[in-house]
Amino acid sequence: MKLKHSVQTALTGLTTHKSRSALTILGVVIGITSIILVMSLGQGAQNLILSQVNGLGATTIAVIPGKISGGPSSAAQTLSDSLKDSDLTALETKANVPYAKEVMPMVLSGGNAVYGNQVYQVSLYGGGTLMTSIMNITVGEGNFFSDDDVLSKSQVVVIGYKVKDHLFDGDEAIGQKIRIGNNTFKVIGVLPQKGQSGLVNFDDAVIMPYTTAQTYVLGINYFNRIIVEADTQDHINATAADITNTLRSDHNITDPSQDDFSVETSADIASTLDTVTSALTAFLAAVAAISLVVGGIGIMNIMLVSVTERTREIGLRKALGACDHDILTQFLLEAVMLTATGGLIGILLGGFLSYVISIILTSALSLSWTFIFPWNAAALGLVVASLVGLVFGIYPARQASRKSPMEALRYE
Amino acid sequence: MNIIETKNLWKVYDNEGTKTEALRGITLAIKKGEFVAIMGPSGSGKSTLLQILGLLDNHTDGTYVFSGKDIGSYDQEEIARMRNGKMGFVFQAFNLLPHASVLDNVKLPLMYSNIPEGEWDVRAQEAVVDVGLEHRMYHQATQLSGGEKQRVAIARALVCDPEVIFADEPTGNLDSKSGEAVIDIIQKLNTEMGHTIILITHETYTAEYAQRIVRLHDGEIVSDEAVSNRKTRADTFVK
């Protein structure tokens, strides 16, 4: 029997029992749908995160205190006081880091902001004017602080949208004074809603000059970050190396394993996040794949029922000249066509759902989410679905092909 | 020339240690172009004999030579090809594909044959015309009466132009009028088209359409004689 006719025969077998066929492939449809969904959303999330990391600027280098450790925000790094004024001065010296365009220290903390009898928990950022460009900050009302404010340790702050909302409840915030710790700070700017920039949400933020934060809030003389902007992307690795050498000589370190700081470019951060999101996506896809196995067992079950039910048909076909191989092909094709159809539906459904989700994420949460159709996963999904049919169809198909024509014809 | 020759054919069913001897040394020769009826009470082994002669089942002992060749030397695939090309089957229960059209049912054996696809439609249509069902060509099998269904089954048995047509109680599920129409067609396949026919029946009335009647009892041939006064459909009308 030619393949073309085997396909026709299998198709007839499937369309005769439409609702059964539909129910049978449900497991495969769900499995493939979830895989596509996970892969599409995973890649979308990855792209979003990477674009935001890259938004930090391809020329941005972060110097982080403390030994290189597992995570980017481990306690050791936040508590370490290894980055001092002398380091800042050394890095600002052209001879040490010739390609550095700008150097900006930062301090990070948390605390309560108070206005009247309103208290709100905020994230505290102490930085320089460079923050506006590096972190993509635009001020909605008022102004950002100036370089003079940084030099003179002015007690001024720029507050996030939610901070204003909670403390001032719709009243004018600019010019008012809020209290953090034992000192008061004048609000000179308010960030617009969705102060989402880079990986940081500035809605809950209070931003002030780092000098102010060091002196009036934290009482420290070290930094939590030093951000260095290289002049061009080509010089980023050279600059990272210069920074490392400068800080080592400044800290009298000869053995690189004793470094009490780490230097990260946005490419480093991107690759770390890339690994994390890839691992997460792979894990979720593996969970989704379990439903494929369950779906496959369902297929096997139904095919076995179908083989028993169609015993007479099998007997007849054999009496009319079908050999074992023809029957095997017919039932195997039925199984594979079922699962491949399920796979196709799953791919379309998964693609559609992730498209809908991407629209929701873009419009409702105003994320710069891009819909990605995971072509690789789709192709793989189709292959896997067909394989499920092949693997779980072979046993019922063999059962069918081994029936003796005489016994099959006698079957009631 | 003998198309079918068996020597001392045995069939023993072994059902969980209980042995049942269905055929006990059948020696039979059937010439090409003959119309043989096999008769016997139920349990006499007539269906078993037909299944073995039709290569639907294996014999336990003895030899079976079909068309000059011992079928013991054939493998499964060759046997399937023989069933397809050299044998046609008509069953008591019709065994049509219920949701397929008359034409598609008749085409079914062609799909397993080496006959080029271009000839399928013509051959199937000719076979349907041969059994007088041209007006039912595209009807579904389920829409047909019992007699019509059996005629479709005959057309299906004919379509590959087999050497032997095996009919297992073809009139068993039919009323006498449609039964006569069916047996008349089977006779014409023999007299007008020259097919060898092996018919199983328990009605003497039906068996007398054949040239020769072989009677079985308890798996053995008890008589084998020519029909002296062979029936045709014309006789029935006279009576």
Place A194 in a pLDDT band, splitting at 50, 70 and 90. low
d(CA B218, CA B44): 5
> Rounded distance, CA B121 to CA B132, Å?
16
Please give the single-letter amino acid code of residue B195: H
Cβ pair B81:A321 closer than 8 A: yes
Q: Is any Cβ of chain B less than 8 angstroms from the Cβ of A324? A: yes
Mean pLDDT of A373-379: 86
Distance (Å) from the alpha carbon of A11 to chain B's nearest alpha carbon: 13
- CB of A322 less than 8 A from some CB of B: yes
Segment B216-228 shows an average pLDDT of 91
| Residues A332, A340: Cα–Cα separation, whole Å | 12
Q: What is the arithmetic mean of pLDDT over A316-340?
A: 90
3-state SS of chain B: helix, strand, coil percent to 5? 40, 30, 35
d(CA A405, CA B50): 13
Binary contact (B89, A319; C-beta < 8 A): yes
| Residue in B49, B110, B111 to test binding to A, most A beta-carbons within 10 Å | B111
Cα distances (angstroms) measured from residue A175 to each of A55, A169, A186, A189, A401:
31, 15, 6, 9, 87
Interface contact A16-B99, CB threshold 8 A: yes
Q: Which residues contact A57 (CB under 8 A, 6 or more apart)?
A: A133, A134, A229, A266
- Minimal Cβ distance to B56: which of A16, A319, A325: A319
Q: What percent of chain B has pLDDT over 90?
A: 69
Q: Are B116 and A352 in contact, with CB atoms under 8 Å apart?
A: no
Q: Determine the residue type at A257.
A: S
What are the tens digits of pLDDT across the range B95-111? Answer: 998 888 999 999 999 99
CA distance A387 to A150: 65
State what percent of residues in chain B have pLDDT above 70.
Answer: 97
B117 contacts in chain A (CB < 8 Å) = 2
| Spatial contact of B101 and B138, defined as CB atoms under 8 Å apart | yes
CA distances from A286 to A39, A279, A292, A293 (A): 11, 11, 10, 11
Cα separation, B110 vs A2, in Å, equals 11
User: Between B54, B95, B111, which is nearest A1 by CB?
Assistant: B111
List chain A residues with CB under 8 Å of B57: 404-406
pLDDT in tens, A271-319: 887 888 888 888 888 887 887 888 888 888 888 888 888 888 888 999 9
Residue B198: per-residue pLDDT: 95
CA distances from B94 to A202, B91, B140, B168 (A): 80, 5, 14, 10
Look at residue A176 and give its three-state secondary structure. Answer: coil
CA distance A59 to A139: 23
Contact B61, B9 (CB under 8 A): yes
- Chain centroid to Cα A399, Å, comes to 47
Q: Which residue has the higher pLDDT, A191 or A407?
A: A191
- Under DSSP, the state recorded for B116 is -
Q: Which two tokens stand for residue B188?
A: 């014409």
> What is the structure's pLDDT at B190?
92
CA atoms within 13 A on the CB side of A313: 20
Half-sphere exposure of A198 (CA within 13 A, CB side): 18
Contact yes or no for A326 and B112 at CB 8 A:
yes
Nearest chain B Cα to A321, which residue?
Answer: B84
C-alpha Rg value of chain B to the nearest Å:
18
pLDDT at A77 over 60: no
Amino acid identity of residue B61, one-letter, is D
Q: Quick one: tokens of A191? A: 């960030």
Q: Which residues of B touch A324 (CB under 8 A)?
A: 76, 80
A321 contact B CB<8A: yes
**Spatial separation of the C-alpha atoms in residues B167 and B36, rounded to whole Å:** 10
B113 contacts in A (CB within 8 Å)? 321
Separation of alpha carbons A381 and A285, rounded Å = 11
CB atoms within 10 A of CB A273: 18
Rounded to a whole number of angstroms, the distance between the first and last alpha carbons of chain A is: 27
Mean pLDDT to the nearest integer, A348-373: 86
Is A406 an interface residue toward B (CB < 8 Å)? yes
- For the ranges A40-49, A195-204, A279-288, A316-325, which has the lowest average pLDDT? A195-204
List CB contacts (< 8 A) between B99 and chain A.
12, 16
Are B77 and A325 in contact (CB < 8 Å)?
Answer: yes
Distance (Å, rounded) from C-alpha B111 to C-alpha B100?
14
* Residue pair B77/B115 in contact by the 8 Å Cβ criterion: no
pLDDT tens by residue, A206-227: 999 999 999 999 888 899 889 8
- Alpha carbon of A370: minimum distance to chain B alpha carbons (Å): 49
pLDDT tier at B159 (50, 70, 90 boundaries)?
very high
Position A200 scores a pLDDT of 65
* Residue numbers in B near A409 (CB within 8 A): 56, 91, 95
Nearest to A247 by CA among A88, A46, A17: A88
Q: Are A225 and A66 in contact (CB under 8 A)?
A: no
Measured between CA atoms, the residue of chain A closest to residue B94 is A316
Chain B nearest-CA distance from A390, in A, is 23
Gap between the Cα atoms of A116 and A160, Å rounded: 18
Distance from CA of B109 to the nearest CA of A (A): 5
Q: Where do the DSSP E strands lie in A276-358?
A: none
Q: Does residue A195 register a pLDDT over 50?
A: no
Q: Is A402 on the interface with B (CB under 8 A)?
A: no
* Contact residues, chain A, for B95 at CB < 8 Å: 312, 315-316, 319, 409
Chain B interface residues facing chain A, Cβ-Cβ under 8 Å? 51, 54, 56-57, 76-77, 80-81, 83-85, 89, 91, 95, 97, 99-100, 108-109, 111-113, 117, 156, 160
A405 reaches B (C-beta below 8 A) = yes
Residue contact B100–A12, C-beta within 8 A: yes
Contact status, residue B52 vs residue B64, Cβ threshold 8 Å: yes
Chain B residues in contact with A322 by the CB 8 A cut-off are: 80, 84, 112
Distance from CA of A404 to the nearest CA of B (A): 7
Q: Do A317 and B108 touch (CB under 8 A)?
A: yes
Query: In this complex, is the C-beta atom of A318 within 8 Å of any C-beta atom belonging to chain B?
Result: yes
Smallest Cα distance from A279 to chain B, Å: 51
Q: Token match 């995570």: residue?
A: A71
pLDDT at A171 over 50: yes
Give the integer Cα–Cα distance in Å for A44 and A37. Answer: 10
CA distance A301 to chain B (A): 24
